[in-house]
Amino acid sequence: MGFFFRRKEIKASAVPETLPRHIAFIMDGNGRWATRRGLRRENGHRAGAKTFREIARTCFQRGIETVTVYAFSTENWKRPKNEVDEIMRLLSSYIDEAFSDFKNEDAEVRFIGRREGLSPELQSKMDKLERASEGRRYRLRIALNYGGRDEIVRAVNRLIECGEREVTEQMISGALDDSKAPDPDLVVRTGGDTRTSNFLLWQSAYAEYVFTKTLWPDLTPGEIDEILSDFSKRHRRYGGL
Ligand code: FPP
């Protein structure tokens, strides 16, 4: 299946020839990172937001066209209100900065996930940022209030609303939140758990997975290079031989 912990002995090397076109990250471990330092979990998310920018920038610099990050799931509302508020604040202030951020990397920003449930101010900022960054070469996708099953159900309902009575795989792919991006070639989960947690369920059918014990705020460009080197050695068969 290709699910395994990345081997530590793989050394960073020059950017490999076979790069993923699309890499997706489950940014797990912010809470533990903070708790281990005697800090509040919110501090972990703040550190995580910093790491997110560095890692996204690294991926674009390496030539990866699309980067998706799982910032907030449809299940994350169950967390204490303080923590939810802090993540929303971070996202909101990130969006403010994102108007200039990633300009150098020529990246457009897209949000995937359910818009309802987010504050009207946040929704309006998200729309503005998407419009302002449209047409750039690289694509940064932020999964916010996102659930893979929820996305598939909303896609099918969109097709039904358009009058379809029977759907095909192509039609579902085309009705997802952002059908412009290619499917992820590689999904990386930090924090040591080996779950997919309802992330890009439809799109990851043939993705390679890397699970690393590194907590998200500790992820470095050097480890990204190791992961890319590991990816370039994998033989993807897509169900064939
Ligand atoms: C999972 O770690 C992380 C989250 C639920 C939030 C991720 C949010 C950010 C990195 C900050 C904002 C993002 C952007 C794009 C600006 P966890 O809290 O489950 O960690 P734990 O497993 O150690 O408790």
Whether pLDDT at 149 is above 60: yes
Query: Would residue 83 be called left, alpha or beta, if left means φ above 0 and alpha means ψ between -120 and 50 degrees?
Result: alpha
Quick one: pLDDT band at residue 240, thresholds 50, 70, 90? confident
CA of 89 relative to ligand 1 center, distance in Å: 13
In a domain, 11, yes or no: no
Instruction: Name the residue of 36, 41, 45 whose CB sits within 8 Å of the most ligand 1 atoms, as the mutation to test its pocket.
Output: 45
The structural domain count of the chain equals 1
Contact indicator for 91, 121 with CB cutoff of 8 Å = no
In a domain, 163, yes or no: yes
* Predicted confidence (pLDDT) per residue in 101-136, tens digit: 777 778 999 999 999 999 999 999 999 999 999 999
* Predicted confidence (pLDDT) per residue in 46-103, tens digit: 999 999 999 999 999 999 999 999 999 999 999 999 999 999 999 999 898 888 877 7
Q: What is the mean pLDDT of residues 149-167?
A: 97
In a domain, 132, yes or no: yes
In a domain, 190, yes or no: yes
CATH number at residue 52: 3.40.1180.10
Q: Which residues pair with 186 in a beta bridge?
A: 23, 208
What range does the domain containing 105 cover?
19-232
Residue nearest to atom 22 of ligand 1 (CA): 29
- Give the residue from 205, 202, 209 showing the smallest Cα distance to 227: 209
Contact indicator for 206, 229 with CB cutoff of 8 Å = no
- Token readout for 90 is 């971070």
Whether pLDDT at 38 is above 50: yes
* Predicted confidence (pLDDT) per residue in 173-224, tens digit: 999 999 999 999 999 999 999 999 999 999 999 999 999 999 999 999 999 9
Q: What is the mean pLDDT of residues 221-231?
A: 97
- Token readout for 127 is 């729309």
| Beta strands across the sheet bearing 22-26 | 107-112, 138-146, 66-73, 22-26, 186-189, 208-211
In a domain, 168, yes or no: yes
Quick one: pLDDT band at residue 2, thresholds 50, 70, 90? very low
145 is catalytic: no
In a domain, 241, yes or no: no
Model pTM score: 0.92
In a domain, 240, yes or no: no
In terms of residues, how long is the chain? 241
pLDDT at residue 14 in the model: 56
Residue nearest to atom 11 of ligand 1 (CA): 49
Contact indicator for 72, 87 with CB cutoff of 8 Å = yes
In a domain, 152, yes or no: yes
Q: What is the mean pLDDT of residues 155-180?
A: 96
